[in-house]
Amino acid sequence: MTRETWKTQVGFILAAVGSAVGLGNVWRFPWMTANNGGSAFLLLYLCIIVLVGVPGLLGAFVIGRRSKRNPVGALRSLSGGSRLWGAFGLLAVCTTVLLVSFYTVVGGWFVRYTAASITGGYFADPGAYFGSVNYGLPAFGFALLFLAATAVIVYGGVERGIERATKLMMPAIVVFLIALIAWTFTRPGSMDGLTFFLSPDLAYLRTHFLDILPAAVGQAMFTLSVGTGTMITYASYLGEERSLPFDATTIAVLNTAVGVLAGLLVFPLLFSFGLDVGSGGPGAIFVSVASAFSTLGLFGRVLGVVFFAVVLLAALSSSISMLEIPVAYLVDERDFSRGRATGVMAGVVAVGAAVCALDASVFSLFADTLVNLLMPTGLAGFLLFVGWVLGKNALSEYEAGAGPLGRALGSPWLLFVGVPIPIFLLFTVISRLLSTLG
Ligand code: PFF
Ligand code: NA
């Protein structure tokens, strides 16, 4: 049986952008920014995207395209059968299962808000509504709906399911965010939100650097889908020679743009409605846009449905990229049929989602701590693999299909991913661990 490949030239980049752009941008980024000093966080985060995120994406692409395998098979085969590297790949697969568990809960919140836009459920008190629906049995029910949609698409396979779902999402989400931002700036008080988000606060950065660093690293990993094996797996379906440096840069730019747009929407909204930025927590996006829609009457309902549904589409193209990892592992390495693998994994994720949906502290353990620990650890391992196991082979894989600029950056890239980036990542993991324990 020949392995599936992306059907069109743009198939890979569409799917990778689809994986990157999701709840991480629209939901988690405003939350993390709000809790970590606003503009200071933004600045640090942008530096990490450029210095760690893009080289990290490239590392994943190189592993995936060279091996044409899932993360476990990739690390094992490229290392000449090392069990240790295989086990590390399995850790990445497990990380992805944990991630998709809490992601499903947040996806469920978006399903719920889509429905509540129709009925006007949050119109009476948008500030309190989030707190009344975020955890509990109904939240789990909505999460299951989201999970079912994810599983159906994953079952459909790479080309039919994933490639198509993404084509609509990007333009829709950008147009929508820009329209809402334009409206927000007609409201008094919105400029203060802009200041909070954009005016550089170097004093805060200096005094809180070590506190916000792990959060910025975790957010960068999460939003780019690196450190989990997703990008390895997607690149493993690359049939033709694309320029990996070009694709990695494109993905990072588009993904960052959507995050920044979400920030440009959420913070001006929160300030203009007099809502406390810090207290929003994981509800920041919901409370802010629900407040906006609730002032617009019937039009607000229509707007709400479309907005939450568009974000749901983006969320699905990300959640399928997570569920695909354990499914590809079971199919490739354990001889499962695709149907059985999808069914088994959906069951496991449903259990994880139940645990996250029923308890707020478990939820934040998944949504925050795990991201800040497991994803940077995963990426550090992949990059050590690229630098020390693949070495020169990584460079030739990197160079295949790359343009002159990309090629020129190849050697510095290999050096960078082999030593400084893993050290930096492990440093943030350890400092995060110490601050959690201490
Ligand atoms: N990057 C996705 C987002 O920003 O919503 C989340 C994600 C997808 C993380 C896939 C990890 C992953 F493997
Ligand atoms: Na993202």
pLDDT tens by residue, 312-359 = 989 999 999 999 999 999 999 999 999 999 999 999 999 999 999 999
Domain ranges of the chain: 11-437
**pLDDT at residue 319, as a whole number:** 96
Give a three-class secondary structure readout of the chain.
Answer: CCCCCCCCCCHHHHHHHHHHCCHHHHHHHHHHHHHCCCHHHHHHHHHHHHHHHHHHHHHHHHHHHHHCCCHHHHHHHHCCCCHHHHHHHHHHHHHHHHHHHHHHHHHHHHHHHHHHHHHCCCCCCHHHHHHHHCCCHHHHHHHHHHHHHHHHHHHHCHHHHHHHHHHHHHHHHHHHHHHHHHHHCCCCCHHHHHHHHHCCCHHHHHHHHHHHHHHHHHHHHHHHCCCCCHHHHHHHCCCCCCCHHHHHHHHHHHHHHHHHHHHHHHHHHHHHCCCCCHHHHHHHHHHHHHHHHHCCHHHHHHHHHHHHHHHHHHHHHHHHHHHHHHHHHHHHHHCCCHHHHHHHHHHHHHHHHHHHHHCHHHHHHHHHHHHHHHHHHHHHHHHHHHHHHHCHHHHHHHHCCCCHHHHHCHHHHHHHHHCHHHHHHHHHHHHHHHHHHC
**pLDDT at residue 169, as a whole number:** 75
Ligand 2 centroid, distance to 21 Cα (angstroms): 4
Closest ligand 1 atom to 25 CA:
4
Q: Which ligand is nearest to the CA of 231?
A: 1
114 touches ligand 1 (CB under 6 Å): no
Give the pLDDT band (50/70/90) at residue 428: very high
Closest ligand 1 atom to 24 CA:
4
Structure-model confidence comparison of residues 271 and 171, the more confident one: 271
Please check the confidence at residue 28 and state whether its pLDDT lies above 50: yes
Q: What are the CA-CA distances from residue 199 to residues 33, 210, 276 (Å)?
A: 13, 20, 19
Please check the confidence at residue 8 and state whether its pLDDT lies above 90: no
Ligand 2 centroid, distance to 59 Cα (angstroms): 18
Mean pLDDT, residues 362-380 = 94
pLDDT tens by residue, 172-181 = 889 989 999 9
**pLDDT at residue 162, as a whole number:** 61
Residue length, the chain?
438
Give the pLDDT band (50/70/90) at residue 15: confident
Q: Whose CA is closest to atom 10 on ligand 1?
A: 225
27 touches ligand 1 (CB under 6 Å): no
Top mutation candidate among 222, 261, 375 for ligand 1, by most atoms within 8 Å of CB: 222
Mean pLDDT, residues 1-19 = 77
Q: CA 243, CA 362: separation in Å to the nearest integer?
A: 41
Q: Which ligand is nearest to the CA of 229?
A: 1
**pLDDT at residue 168, as a whole number:** 74
Axis-axis angle for helices 284-294, 244-272 (nearest 10): 60
Q: Are 267 and 196 in contact (CB under 8 A)?
A: yes
pLDDT tens by residue, 269-324 = 999 998 887 767 899 999 999 999 999 999 999 989 989 998 998 999 999 999 99
Give the pLDDT band (50/70/90) at residue 9: low
Ligand 2 centroid, distance to 22 Cα (angstroms): 5
Dihedrals phi, psi of 74, to nearest 5 degrees:
-65, -55
109, 117, 118: which is closest to 136 by C-alpha?
109
Give the pLDDT band (50/70/90) at residue 170: confident
**pLDDT at residue 239, as a whole number:** 67
The average confidence (pLDDT) of the chain is 93
ipTM: 0.99
Please check the confidence at residue 381 and state whether its pLDDT lies above 50: yes
pLDDT tens by residue, 393-421 = 999 999 999 999 999 999 999 999 999 99
Global pTM?
Answer: 0.95
Ligand 1 centroid, distance to 223 Cα (angstroms): 5
pLDDT tens by residue, 234-244 = 999 886 678 99
**pLDDT at residue 1, as a whole number:** 42
For domain 11-437, the question of CATH label 1.10.4160.10 is answered with yes
**pLDDT at residue 10, as a whole number:** 76
pLDDT tens by residue, 204-261 = 999 999 999 999 999 999 999 999 999 999 999 886 678 999 999 999 999 999 999 9
